[in-house]
Structure 1
Amino acid sequence: MLSDRARLVRDMVRIRVVEEVLADYYRDEQEMRTPTHFSIGQEASAVGVCGATRPEDWVYAAHRSHAPYLAKGGDLKAMVAELYGKQDGCAHGRGGSIHLVDQSVGFAGSAAILGEMIPVAVGSAWAFARANEPRVALTFFGDGSTEEGVFAESLNFAAVHRIPVVFVCENNLYSISSPLSARQPGGTSITRRAEAAGVTSLAVDGNDVFAVKEAAEKAVLQCREGDGPVLLELATYRWREHVGPGWDADHGYRTQEEIDSWMAGCPIVRAADALREQEPEIDAMVAGWRVQFHDEIQAAVAYAKERPFPEVDRLLDGAYAPVTH
């Protein structure tokens, strides 16, 4: 039986393999016509945070949604079918990569507008509190979202009403191609702004899955006990371009040396190294998981390709139009 810590490594390997294979298909075949935002390099954030939740807790995400969707237990076949625009996708082929949903496991949804799901998560958490339900809502977003007005408004509202919501900021240093230093004043920080709003804030190494899970457990417990919201600022880094499967050192906003330095701190390698004494066979386990999950994602792609596209006369179902049968 896997230890809890080994399970975290396994879950990161699964997300990494799934996204690497999907990136190759996306680039080589051009059959997935949805914009995709890969979390390759950021797996520890999603796995650590979602590993601290219960099935009844709701997770929301922004555009970089694959990792939290899978970490929360979202159906892989349904996700891949959605990327291919098929009727059997988790949003019936209407949403694509940035509109994933699997409420059966507590992944409440994702969306592309910057900061959009932050107030939605606050609203869900407020509903949980008013119904006296011991549930927590969590919302993933990037550092760019912290510059939206809705971020400040949501922090204030959550603090005033002691709402059980965890704000999860995956700070990967860039909003598309704009570095944090060009967008936020020197001497400030995301955690300090949250603290100024009365929200408990923790700055965590977002590439240390064990540290992330420990911090997330504290945050979720505080919310569940009615002691108000928490913000987690997770320092992490995406290896590939903002949107799409490629590498972007030649785009001019970051260097190959910077990318290489973050890749050297790969969250999977770090976690495996930390576990080697406890799990002497961890390297063989990782190699075996890579094979297992490569087969799993290949089967999911084959499934998605075989599924039908939505029928033309039902394309507007659920989109400001009556549902037809």
Structure 2
Amino acid sequence: MQLSRDELLGAYRRMATIRQFEERLHDEIKTGEIAGFTHLYCGQEAAAVGVCDHLTVDDLIVSTHRGHGHCIAKGCDVKGMMKEIYGRADGLCKGRGGSMHIADLSVGMLGANGIVGAGAPQAVGAAISARLDGKGRVAIAFSGDGACNQGTTFEAMNLAVVLKVPAIFVFENNHYSEHTGVDYAVGTAGDIASRAEAFGMKAWRANGCDFIDTYETMRELLEYVRAGHGPAAIELDTERFYGHFEGDPQRYRGPGEIERLREERDCLKIFRARVGEAGVLDIAELDAIDAEVAALIEEATAEARAAAPPDPAAVAEDVYVEY
């Protein structure tokens, strides 16, 4: 384990923040105060944090419809995110984006979107920019297992190889594309990394429910890409604790499946067990972080509820680029 105590504590704080942010949203959605669809990231926290903990503010990421975890892992302000999801004027995107369209260019978060596979070509464009400026930056496209079947993703991977740009394709395989199992929908027997390899790039695989495994695998991958070897991919085997969207009845799940995953594949439980058994961190320290995060999420929710919505007179602003 190559991480310091402070690095491990910081990683746990970010994972705990994602978990509590999403669990709170799961409750808030039921109030009817939040408009639009919401896709929760609970269960996949180690993937986002294990990837983003290596990145600088200058590195760029493109997210998905299930993007809150990526935003928090990359450094987006939690209170600004909650206001955005509530559609408030002080939200990160002035209340215009909502859950699926959060962006913050100041921290290298280029945005999320609701189109499956749309992030991959955007990340390649950002990677072209990174290669041209020669500053060693990388651009990352987060995708789910559903995006690995999209033509946009195939074209993006091919172009990244042809142009040898520092693009990284992160496939979070949570085993369900909306309501369809990966073993049924992905022809390569659910092996997504092999698809990236078929385009001529090097691909890694890691346990996306284990922060340490994800972090250390990502370290090796990033060293390879930053050294100028071109694009790379990583498949993270992870789990999704809630439905595809809030309100999904999840009838495609087997009996007791969710309960089993929360018991055996919860990345926060796995993290606590690993650092505790290794004697690296005191569990009481992690409990204290949980309490601090809970207070932050409570503040963020209260402030979002009380914040003002956008002024209708400003509806035409930010529609076109102004020079």
Asked if Structure 1 and Structure 2 have the same fold, meaning a TM-score greater than 0.5 normalized by the shorter chain, the answer is yes
1:267 partner amino acid: C
Distance in 2 (alpha carbons) for counterparts of 1:166 and 1:186: 20
In structure 1, distance between residues paired with 2:252 and 2:260: 16
Deviation at 1:181, TM superposition (A): 2.0
Deviation of 1:240 after TM superposition, in Å, equals 0.6
Distance in 1 (CA, whole Å) between partners of 2:305 and 2:187 is: 48
**Structure 2 counterpart of 1:22:** 25
Which runs of structure 2 are paired with 1:273-292 in the superposition (5 Å)? 273-279=273-279, 282-292=282-292
Residue type matched to 1:301 in 2? T
Is residue 7 of structure 2 the alignment partner of residue 4 of structure 1? yes
The answer (yes or no) to whether the contact 1:173–1:180 under 8 Å persists in 2 is yes
Gaps of 5+ in 2: none
Residue correspondences, number: 319
1:150 aligns with 2:149: no
Does residue 211 of the first structure (1) align with residue 241 of the second (2)?
A: no
Instruction: Tell me the equivalent position of 1:130.
Output: 132
**Cα distance between partner residues in 1 of 2:169 and 2:306:** 38
1:225 shift after superposition? 1.4
Q: Which residue of 2 aligns with 1:293?
A: 293
Look up the match of 2:267.
Answer: 267
Matched, 1:307 2:310: no
Runs of 4 or more, structure 1, over 3 Å off, are: 277-282, 320-323
Corresponding letter in the other structure for 2:80: A
- Mean alpha-carbon deviation: is it higher for 186-195 or for 79-88? 186-195
Q: Distance in 2 between matches of 1:295 and 1:188?
A: 40
RMSD: 1.8
Q: Does the aligned pair in 2 maintain the 1:171–1:237 contact within 8 Å? A: yes
SS at match of 2:229: coil
- The superposition leaves residues 280-302 of structure 1 with CA deviations (integer Å, 9 ceiling, x where unpaired) of 65322222222111110111112
**2:45·2:69 contact (CA, 8 Å) conserved in 1?**
yes
CA contact 1:21–1:294 (8 Å) conserved in 2: no
Q: Residue 173 of structure 2 is aligned with which of 158, 171, 174? A: 171
Equivalences for residues 112-261 of structure 1 within 5 A: 112-185=114-187, 187=189, 189-244=191-246, 248=249, 251-261=250-260
Question: In 2 relative to 1, CA 225–38 (structure 1 residues): closer, same or farther, beyond 3 Å?
Answer: same
The structural deviation recorded for 1:34 is 2.5
2:54 is equivalent to residue 55 of structure 1: no
Identity over aligned pairs, percent? 33
Shift of 1:188: 6.0
TM-score with structure 2 setting the length: 0.94
**d(CA) in 2 for partners of 1:90, 1:97:** 11
Q: 1:229 to 1:321 in 2, by over 3 A?
A: closer
The alpha carbon displacement at 1:48 in A equals 0.3
1:97-121 CA distance string (max 9 Å, x none): 1111111111121111111111001
Q: Give the Cα–Cα distance (whole angstroms) in 1 for the partners of residues 94 and 41 of structure 2.
A: 23
Q: What amino acid is the match of 1:204?
A: A
Change in CA separation of 1:315 and 1:269 when aligned onto 2, cut-off 3 Å: same
Q: Distance in 2 between matches of 1:254 and 1:166?
A: 31
Shift of 1:320: 4.9
Provide the rounded CA distance (Å) in 1 between the counterparts of 2:51 and 2:144: 15
